[in-house]
Structure 1
Amino acid sequence: MLELKRIAIDTYRDNVAFLARNCSVYRPEEYQALKKIQVMNGSHHLLASLLIVDDETIVGPGELGLSEQAFRRMGLKAGTRVTIAPAEPPGSLDHLRRKIHGHTLDSAQIEEIITDIANYRYSEMEIAAFLVSSAGFMTTDEMLSLTKAMAQAGTQLRWKSPVVVDKHCIGGIPGNRTSMIIVPIVAAHGLTIPKTSSRAITSPAGTADTMEVLAKVDLSMPEMQRVVEECNGCIVWGGHVNLSPADDILISVERPLSIDTREQMVASILSKKLAAGSTHLLVDLPLGPSAKIRNHTDAMRLRKLFEYVGNQVGLAIDVIVTNGAQPIGNGIGPVLEARDVMSVLRREEGAPMDLREKSLQIAGALLENDPGLRGGSGYAQAQELLDSGAALKSMERIIEVQGRAQEVFCVGELAYDVLAPISGTVTAIDCYRLARIARLAGAPMDKGAGIDLFKKIGDNIAKGEPLYRIHACFQSDYSFAVKYVSEGNGYAIGELA
């Protein structure tokens, strides 16, 4: 047997085991050709990729090292004695091969695949094969089975309230931080809204990244439930409560491959909401020339897919198509977006009106799900809760109960103004390019990095006047962003209106 050792190496989502080449218990050459091994101790089992180590300061002859993620998942203390064996390939790989060859899978087969993915039994190559084959062809029944299987694979939250509302935006629009205004409005009204949000993967900020500027977001499930009980709502990172874990794994492989089909998007979003215990969901589909959805036909098709799955799983779905022609708010990046959110909640002069108005529209639509509210009065009620200061009090309460942020985050001190090359009127803004610039500047890793917008579509501007300001915290990030801007600033300027 080998003694378990924790290796302080971050291997992201992969389980990695480390075995010394001069191992005194096993012959490493017998395992070196294997892609995976099984680590065992009684009822504790773990599949892991194996690496052979020549440095005894990392792993000794009588030790088996596990990366940070693998050690945590194994659930044993360092020094515990374990055995290893060649890993049996997951049985669901037979179903994957059928999918690769163009066959349709039934619900049981899809459930087996998702269970194996959620338990880290698939390599990234096998996950990619599943995603690519599904992107090539997926029936509506397969999409429904995928949604159900992903929702059931992890934690499933349940709430006392018969009406549990939520909203989700499919993304692609920088600064669109409406959730942090909607949640306190809806919670102040008295409806339950347990908002589990994501961290950014390819964008400059996710809701969880921005909320983290103000409060703790990595809550456990009991902590999250306590916040909702006390405040009617929360804004937390969904990754910490294990909702639809297979979806997080699939997304980590989808993004580098740029796979983003309608069917997989619907299954991804609705599995998370089902697992979170939502009964009513509003889906925001931004439509614009640089958004994910670029024409009304695609928006209609996606709406119908959401409605179909929602009907089948008992989730009331309301889909709205919103303006995705340009960023929402004045800031892109966690600190700047948090500034915009709080300025709206505080009713400050100069608060971004587009962020305020979109938040009120969505909050009003969610309030219409309250059986005690007169039909058609949701928007007026949302406006009253915001303008009276009730929403601000609700947000402050949520921040306090979740745990106020211990660190004060500031805007990055390295600043670069992007100037208009000509005079005229702003006619278009490339959301994708601005998000890329903010990301290169360091967002969201550096909370204070990002872009401060000065001009929007329809604004007049003089040559040499700033369009926006880039903020960075490190010189290297600053240089990357400035160089990228030199190749195109993301703004189109036409004749004066």
Structure 2
Amino acid sequence: MAYALRARRLGIDTYQQPVAYMRRDCAVCRAEGFEAQSRIELQCGANIVAAMLNVVDGGLLEGQEVGLSEAAWEALGAAPGMPVTVRHAAPLASFSAVRGKIHGRPLDEAAAQAIVADIAGGRYPDIHLSSFITACSGNRLDLAETIALTRAMAGAGERMQWPAPVVVDKHCVGGLPGNRTTLLVVPIVAACGMTMPKTSSRAITSPAGTADTMETLAPVAIGIDAMRRVVQREGGCIVWGGSVTLSPADDVLIRVERPLELDSDGLLVASVLSKKLAAGATHVLIDIPVGRTAKVRSGQAAQQLAARLEAAGQALGLAVRCVVSDGSQPVGVGIGPALEAMDVLAVLQGSAAAPQDLRQRALALAGGVLELGGRAAPGAGLALAAEVLDSGAAWNKFQAICAAQGGLREPPLAACSHVLEARHAGRVVGVDNRKLATLAKLAGAPRAAAAGVRFLAPLGSRLAVGQPMLTIHADTPGELAYALEYAQAQSNLVTVEDSS
């Protein structure tokens, strides 16, 4: 049975999960036996949304009102006082396959399709999503399950097609602060006349995702039609994948993976390749940084991940090539959206102060993409990429892409900063990527685009007592103090070997 209540916007941010609020003594709650955490279905006009129910005591709501979180309000297209029909949500049949997976039963094609369809349709609340992600974490997905899940995720949203016979893309599996090579690779490759429609994620567990960094320079939430126009005009783009409904189930999973901080080779492969397939790519280069404190910590783990990516790509008709790179320390100087954008601009503009490690890493990847896509002969990609960057053609192309996406802008500056100095003289022999990333996040990144860390003590450098090792940037004194307290409590954020 369905009951109608009056809609009330409560202004509660539950991120992307629709949540409804009803009084405990509401006639609907009592008649239907609704309890906190019940899955319910809301309907306002033609819009239907699955939501999680929270039960309220006291005077926040009247008995005939249903309170709506921001996500629920926007999804329903409601207005104050509009009638909202409330009923029990239909049974989540696909979750039986998740329970089976928890108990060791593999996911087949049908199960993967059903689960992904329900996730993309918004029918999985966060608690069920967490169960699915946990069931797939670690090495719990085999290659066949990974392929089935990738195919289901790629088919759940729109699929883009391009007139070019070869459409290239690149991806980094992450775990390396400051590694913003995409913002350099795309304009280099596009300036060579290739098609590179790049969709990128926001940060999951890092202080900045590619989309977060690009957003400090140009709009990234531009929609699929605008993305198509940008690529047709300039040959490439750098947009947020969440705004273009490509592999929409992946965007939902990423939202829940972020707080869980669970890694899974199978989910990583499905996430990466489903987005590439949906974006219309035919050839993909994937960077796998390896380091003691990177996401991938050993050469053996990197080779296993590369083998799975390449095998899944082959099964799905996608040419995938993986490169294993050094993940022992951050790339560039900036860690955080705006600080990383400043590094990118310095490289594009040929500044003498540009971080050379970022430049060289981006050139190597751009050269690999040019060779993989057939624009450069084997072994000749690096030289072509360097020529395009040094001539200014890549900078011109980047400006054109930004203009097509809505306009190039200056990255913001933080209001507060503090320099952390070396307490010991010696040579830097160790850097903890994870702790540096945590420090940048405590300073406010990526939520505060200008927040983060400027890292000034790369491996092999020699420090004197009192020499700056890093600078913390934050928008408020409180956030700066919070981050500084963490930094001062770490004994091995940067490991210095005594040179005496």
TM-score of the superposition, structure 2-length normalised? 0.93
AA paired with 1:119? G
Post-superposition offset of 1:2: 3.3
Post-superposition offset of 1:425: 0.9
3-state SS of 2:372 partner: coil
Superposed, 1:176-325 pairs within 5 Å as 176-325=179-328
Asked if 1:98 corresponds to 2:72, the answer is: no
What does residue 486 of structure 1 align with? 488
What does residue 134 of structure 2 align with? 132
3-state SS of 1:32 partner: coil
Post-superposition offset of 1:147: 0.8
AA paired with 1:66? L
State whether residues 28 and 52 of structure 1, in contact with CA within 8 Å, keep that contact through their aligned partners in structure 2. no
Aligned with residue 471 of structure 1, among 456, 468, 473:
473
Q: Which deviates further from its counterpart, 282-291 or 60-69? A: 60-69
Post-superposition offset of 1:236: 1.0
What are the ranges of 5 or more consecutive residues in structure 2 without an aligned counterpart? none
Query: CA deviation digits over 1:47-80, x for unaligned, max 9?
Result: 1122344566x65444433322123223455554
What does residue 434 of structure 1 align with? 436
Query: CA deviation digits over 1:124-183, x for unaligned, max 9?
Result: 222222222233632211111011111112232222222111111111111111000111
Inter-CA distance 247–334: structure 2 relative to 1 (3 Å threshold): same
Aligned with residue 326 of structure 1, among 329, 340, 347:
329
What does residue 124 of structure 2 align with? 122
Cα distance between partner residues in 2 of 1:362 and 1:372: 14
Cα distance between partner residues in 2 of 1:213 and 1:327: 20
State whether residues 212 and 405 of structure 1, in contact with CA within 8 Å, keep that contact through their aligned partners in structure 2. no
State whether residues 424 and 498 of structure 2, in contact with CA within 8 Å, keep that contact through their aligned partners in structure 1. no
The count of aligned residue pairs is: 494
3-state SS of 1:311 partner: helix
Cα distance between partner residues in 2 of 1:218 and 1:76: 23
Post-superposition offset of 1:371: 3.7
State whether residues 136 and 264 of structure 2, in contact with CA within 8 Å, keep that contact through their aligned partners in structure 1. no
Inter-CA distance 293–416: structure 2 relative to 1 (3 Å threshold): same
Cα distance between partner residues in 2 of 1:339 and 1:39: 45
AA paired with 1:36? R
Cα distance between partner residues in 1 of 2:460 and 2:63: 69
For the aligned residue pairs, the C-alpha RMSD in angstroms reads 2.2
Superposed, 1:67-86 pairs within 5 Å as 67-75=69-77, 80-86=82-88
Q: Which deviates further from its counterpart, 381-390 or 460-469? A: 460-469
Superposed, 1:23-38 pairs within 5 Å as 23=26, 26=28, 28=30, 30-33=32-35, 35-38=38-41
Aligned with residue 455 of structure 1, among 445, 454, 457:
457
What does residue 401 of structure 1 align with? 404
Cα distance between partner residues in 2 of 1:27 and 1:335: 48
Cα distance between partner residues in 2 of 1:160 and 1:238: 21
Asked if 1:161 corresponds to 2:164, the answer is: yes
Cα distance between partner residues in 1 of 2:106 and 2:373: 41
AA paired with 1:424? G
Q: Which deviates further from its counterpart, 220-229 or 45-54? A: 45-54
Aligned with residue 426 of structure 2, among 401, 424, 435:
424
State whether residues 29 and 35 of structure 2, in contact with CA within 8 Å, keep that contact through their aligned partners in structure 1. no
Query: CA deviation digits over 1:352-404, x for unaligned, max 9?
Result: 11100010010011111344544432211111110100000001111111112
AA paired with 2:114? E
Cα distance between partner residues in 2 of 1:131 and 1:375: 40
State whether residues 40 and 51 of structure 2, in contact with CA within 8 Å, keep that contact through their aligned partners in structure 1. yes
Post-superposition offset of 1:41: 5.3
What are the ranges of 5 or more consecutive residues in structure 1 without an aligned counterpart? none
3-state SS of 1:26 partner: helix
Post-superposition offset of 1:222: 0.8
Query: CA deviation digits over 1:301-358, x for unaligned, max 9?
Result: 1110001100000111010001111110011112211111011001111211110001
AA paired with 2:473? H
Superposed, 1:136-155 pairs within 5 Å as 137-155=140-158
**Sequence identity of aligned pairs in percent?**
44
Asked if 1:47 corresponds to 2:50, the answer is: yes
Post-superposition offset of 1:450: 1.4
What does residue 173 of structure 2 align with? 170
Cα distance between partner residues in 2 of 1:371 and 1:437: 41
State whether residues 47 and 75 of structure 2, in contact with CA within 8 Å, keep that contact through their aligned partners in structure 1. no
Cα distance between partner residues in 1 of 2:8 and 2:483: 41
State whether residues 213 and 340 of structure 2, in contact with CA within 8 Å, keep that contact through their aligned partners in structure 1. yes
